Amino acid sequence: TCSFCGSRTGPKGVAELGMRDWVCETCGTEHDRDLNASLNILRLGHEAPTGGSPVL
C-alpha cells in the first residue's frame, strides 16, 4: 500500500519480496519497501479503533 495515496499497487506475493524499491502506479511516488511499510504502520497506530479490543 502506498503510504502517500493509499493505493494498493505495490509489490505483491512471495515472488516480489525481493523488490526493495517501487513506484506507485497511481501517484508516481517512489518508495523504499521498508520505509513505506513503517510509514503505513505508524499511520495505522494513529487511526481510531473500529471496535472491540485488538487481538494480539
In a domain, 2, yes or no: yes
By C-alpha distance, which of 21, 53, 47, 51 is closest to 34? 21
Whether the Cβ atoms of residue 1 and residue 8 lie closer than 8 Å to each other: yes
| Helix, strand, coil shares, percent, the chain, to 5 | 30, 10, 60
Residue 56 falls inside a structural domain:
no
Q: Is residue 52 part of a domain?
A: no
- Cα dihedral 32, 33, 36, 41 sign: negative
Residue 27 · residue 4 · CB < 8 Å = yes
Q: The pTM is what?
A: 0.69
Reported as a single tens digit per residue, the pLDDT across 9-28 is: 888 888 888 889 999 999 99
Number of domains in the chain: 1
Within a domain: 55: no
In a domain, 9, yes or no: yes
Which residues span the domain enclosing 8?
1-46
- Is residue 31 assigned to a domain? yes
For 24-52, what is each residue's pLDDT tens digit?
999 999 999 999 999 999 988 766 556 65
In-domain check, residue 51? no
Q: Which residue's entry shows cell 502506498?
A: 2
